[in-house]
Amino acid sequence: MASTTNSRSVVFVDGIRTPFGRAGKKGIYAETRADDLIVNCIRELVRRNPQMPTDRIDDVAIAATTQTGDQGLTIGRSAAILAGLPETVPGYAIDRMCAGAMTSVTTTAGAIGFGQYDLAIAGGVEHMGRHPMGEGVDPNPRFLADKLVDPSALVMGNTAENLHDRFPTITKDRTDAYAIGSQQKYEAARAAGKIAQTLVPSATRHAETGWGYATADEPPRPATTLEDLANLKTPFRTGGRITAGNAAGLNDGATAAIIAGEDTATELGLPIGMRMVGYSFKGVDPAVMGIGPVPATEKLLARTGLSINDIGLFEINEAFAVQVLAFLEHFGIADDDPRVNPWGGAIACGHPLASSGVRLMTQLSNHFKERTDVRYGLTTMCIGMGMGGSVIWENPNYTGEKA
């Protein structure tokens, strides 16, 4: 009997996202449906890649942390139908909290690498205005009664304060300075037209003001100063270090990407943005979930035979500045290393939970086009309930020597 498996190279073809909005009644997407945001991303991928036969798409994997209402109904399948893909294209939903879209990519990549899929669309959506984090959740009382987790593990801001405790060298002054740097790098990238190339404009609607058109991220505050951040409240702990200024906000938005076998991409004439080298997820103490990217990356480096010195670009999700700095400190990387988040990060542009992984990947793919001297890049993020996820990518445009 012939084998149906065929291990092969998996590539990131193209990625897109909506502009990110601030969650809440005053945000740009306050009256926009979550499923319409992800549908817009899927349609844009199809429009930008007309050489991709939509009937060749093997699956649509879409993540959402809160899978109810307009983020429910097996959103990968419902979004595929709403986006006008052929009815033969299946879809499914994924939940790994903040790493939802990252897991959508790695899951479909696994199927492609195993030879069962050729093409997939992977992404995520989060409308935190309609569906606040933890909406409808009923944690099992044994988590606390049996002391399976520290009570602080269920509030992400508290876990970030715990991480400060574990890394006393990471002071509030350092996290505030990092946050300012994120805002400044984002603004420089925006002004240079780099952010716009990753966005699909999105229709908005408000009962009072009518229809609108979102073309830019809503959260950035480029004029923020260290003095501004010094005076912000610390809501998770009296005299704490976590503020609204050195953490990502509550946001709405969606992302999507085309993942393919390299042979399929070549056959169809699709662009090859980057090649997947490997991925890893790792669990940690939920009370310090922000440390998750460290062991996930260590595990991945060991599996791939690479070292941290082989990584020429880092896209690290900025859920909290302390979480990024804990990663950098562990690996001996300077707070202001230019390899890290060259276009700023979630502290500036926002973090709509399950969608953020593909934002990191889309930006890294764009960096690779400009940085032909860099061979490997890393996308990594912390994950609620105590996890970390990391993916290493190879630059197809690399012009240097290969060992």
> Which CATH number does the domain housing residue 158 bear?
3.40.47.10
Residue 366 inside a domain? The answer is yes
Encode the chain (403 residues) as per-residue pLDDT tens digits.
344 555 799 999 999 999 999 999 999 999 999 999 999 999 999 999 999 999 999 999 999 999 999 999 999 999 999 999 999 999 999 999 999 999 999 999 999 999 999 999 999 999 999 999 889 999 999 999 999 999 999 899 999 999 999 999 999 999 999 999 999 999 999 999 999 999 999 999 888 888 999 999 999 999 999 999 999 999 999 999 999 999 999 999 999 999 999 999 999 999 999 999 999 999 999 999 999 999 999 999 999 999 999 999 999 999 999 999 999 999 999 999 999 999 999 999 999 999 999 999 999 999 999 999 999 999 999 999 999 999 999 999 999 888 7
Closest CA to 19 of 216, 206, 255: 216
Q: What is the pLDDT of residue 402?
A: 81
pTM here? 0.96
Tally of CA atoms within 13 A in the half-sphere of 268 that contains its CB: 23
Do the Cβ atoms of 254 and 125 come closer than 8 Å? yes
349 catalytically annotated: no
Structure tokens at 375: 């061979």
Residue 72 inside a domain? The answer is no
127 catalytically annotated: no
- Look at the block and give the residue holding tokens 């199809």: 46
* Other Cβ atoms within 10 Å of 215 Cβ, number: 11
Q: Which of 131, 164, 351, 367 is catalytic?
A: 351
Residue 184 inside a domain? The answer is yes
Q: What is the pLDDT of residue 6?
A: 57
One-letter-per-residue 3-state SS of 162-200? HHHHHCCCCCHHHHHHHHHHHHHHHHHHHHCCCCHHHEC
Structure tokens at 9: 């190279």
For the chain, what is the domain count?
Answer: 1
98 catalytically annotated: yes
> What is the Cα–Cα distance from 25 to 149, expressed in whole angstroms?
34
Indicate the DSSP class of residue 31.
T
Residue 85 inside a domain? The answer is no
Residue 49 inside a domain? The answer is no
Residue 237 inside a domain? The answer is no
> What is the Cα–Cα distance from 313 to 48, expressed in whole angstroms?
26
Q: What is the pLDDT of residue 1?
A: 39
Q: Which of 41, 127, 131, 382 is catalytic?
A: 382
Residue 113 inside a domain? The answer is no
Its domain, for residue 356, covers 148-196+277-392
Q: What are phi and psi of 77, to 5 degrees?
A: -75, -45
Q: Which of 98, 131, 349, 367 is catalytic?
A: 98
> What is the Cα–Cα distance from 123 to 108, expressed in whole angstroms?
10
Residue 207 inside a domain? The answer is no
- Look at the block and give the residue holding tokens 């035979």: 305
Q: What is the pLDDT of residue 4?
A: 52
